[in-house]
Amino acid sequence: MLYILILFLFINHCTVFILCDKLVTGFGQFPYFAQIFIPVKLQTSSRRRGTQYTSCSATLIHPRWLLTAAHCFPNDTFEIQGVEKSTENEVFVGIHKKGGYEKNSIIKVYRHQDFQWIKQGSTERIRRDVAVVKLRSQFKRSQTLQTITLPFTNTNMKNKVFKQCKNGIVIGTEKATTQYLNPNPQVAYLKTDVKKKEELMESVVQTGTLFFSEIPISRKHNIKSIGGPFVCNISGQAVQFGVLSRQVYRKKNIVFEYEEIEKYNDFIIRLVTPQRRLGRQSGRRGYIMVNKSNSKLAAVYVNLVLFTVGIIHYF
């Protein structure tokens, strides 16, 4: 009985730490992962052949809110307003290899007030690269569609990502631009270690809100989009510590730059949910439990296992 129950849990509940596939999402493997599609030229009909879309990754932090990179969107405020008013932007969540997904659209983009995106020739400088996005309607949670847990601000525990998370995964897609307004089922992930600036093989320009990971340039990976999450396993719970801002190619290595979410808690909380309400939902480990359904489900499983063990010992 116990063996059958455990086998059922493993087969039916793929998580970010029980990975079903390397590139194609399993059934409910990344239930908080979202794909955003923005028309490059808003004045061009999305139905015309050859229309290009910018494809960014994001995470569902609330049934009606996404967290992503600010430079997923145009640098010009007027163009962002065009995105918000357009009916041609699309958001897909709950994507899995069986072809299922839920669709939505953007009505408001909030970039961080100190966001900067300066291009100088072939180089660019990006600072405070975080944005939250309000959706047209609220998603309904399901097995394949859930919200992610975010770090909770704790003034007594600075640099939490380096204390709690030594390694994790970054999630994204294989394409940053596309001609087709369809979710990409090829959702890729990369296992990597967390690094500080001084631990990198080659120097980078740091803004004070970043942490990094680094892989040899010879190591192949399939993440081309920005805005995706850096996720760590904290006592069996998937917690998002970073937002992928960009990849920097050096002579020998590829450096992934992440905006550290802990630095933006006030910005996120102020926009998404009243602080008092989030405070009541805080978990024991100091993380914002925006979604409690995962923990409730886990509690049910634990109780079932304990009940089964008790029955076995009784007989």
Q: Is the pLDDT of residue 6 over 70?
A: no
pLDDT category at 97 given cuts 50, 70, 90 is low
pLDDT the model gives residue 296: 45
> Tens digits of per-residue pLDDT, 145-171?
999 999 864 444 456 677 888 899 999
Q: What is the pLDDT of residue 295?
A: 43
If you average pLDDT over every residue of the chain, what do you get?
Answer: 77
Range 79-85 average pLDDT: 90
Chain segment 36-71, per-residue pLDDT in tens: 998 876 444 444 445 678 889 999 999 999 999 999
Full 3-state SS string of the chain: CHHHHHHHHHHHCCECCECCCCCCCCCCCCCCEEEEEEECCCCCCCCCCCCCEEEEEEEEEECCEEEECHHHCCCCHHHHHHHHHCCCCEEEECCCCCCCCEEECEEEEEECCCCEEEEECCEEEEECCCEEEEECCCCCCECCECCCEEECCCCCCCCHHHHHCCEEEEEEECCCEECCCCCCCCEEEEEEECECHHHCCCCCCCCCCEEEEEEECCCCCCCCCCCCEEEEEECCEEEEEEEEEEEEECCCEEEEEEEEHHHHHHHHHHHHCCHHHHHHCECCCCEECCCCHHHHHHHHHHHHHHHHHHHHHHC
Give residue 177's pLDDT: 77
Identify the pLDDT of residue 159: 60
What the block records as the tokens of 151 is: 């770090």
- Is the whole model's pTM more than 0.85, yes or no? no
**Cα–Cα dist 42/44, whole Å:** 5
- What pLDDT, on a 0 to 100 scale, did the predictor assign at position 44? 42
In this predicted structure, what is the pLDDT of residue 13? 45
Task: Match 């900067």 to its residue by tokens.
Answer: 116
- Is the model more confident about 86 or about 227? 227
207-242: pLDDT as tens digits: 789 999 999 988 888 898 999 999 998 888 899 999
Banded model confidence at residue 19, pLDDT cuts 50, 70, 90: very low
Residue 289's pLDDT is: 44
pLDDT band at 25 (very low <50, low <70, confident <90, very high): low
Domain spans in the chain, listed from the N-terminal domain onward? 17-291
| Mean predicted confidence (pLDDT) in 104-133 | 90
How far is it, in rounded angstroms, from Cα 202 to Cα 174? 26
Q: How confident is the model at residue 9 (pLDDT cuts 50, 70, 90)?
A: very low
Cα 199–Cα 202–Cα 206 angle in degrees, nearest 5: 70
114 confidence band (pLDDT: 50, 70, 90): very high
Q: Which of 82-91, 116-125, 285-294, 300-309 has the lowest mean pLDDT?
A: 285-294
3.90.79.10, 3.30.1490.20, 2.40.10.120, 3.40.640.10: CATH of 17-291:
2.40.10.120
**pLDDT classification of 187: cutoffs 50, 70, 90:** confident
Average pLDDT over residues 101-112: 94
Higher-pLDDT residue of 35, 100: 35
pLDDT value at position 102? 92
The string of pLDDT tens digits covering residues 258-301 is: 999 989 988 999 999 754 344 333 443 333 444 444 444 444 44
Task: Indicate the pairing of strand 116-120 with strand 33-39.
Answer: unpaired
Q: And the tokens for 16?
A: 């970010």
What confidence score (pLDDT) does residue 27 get?
A: 63
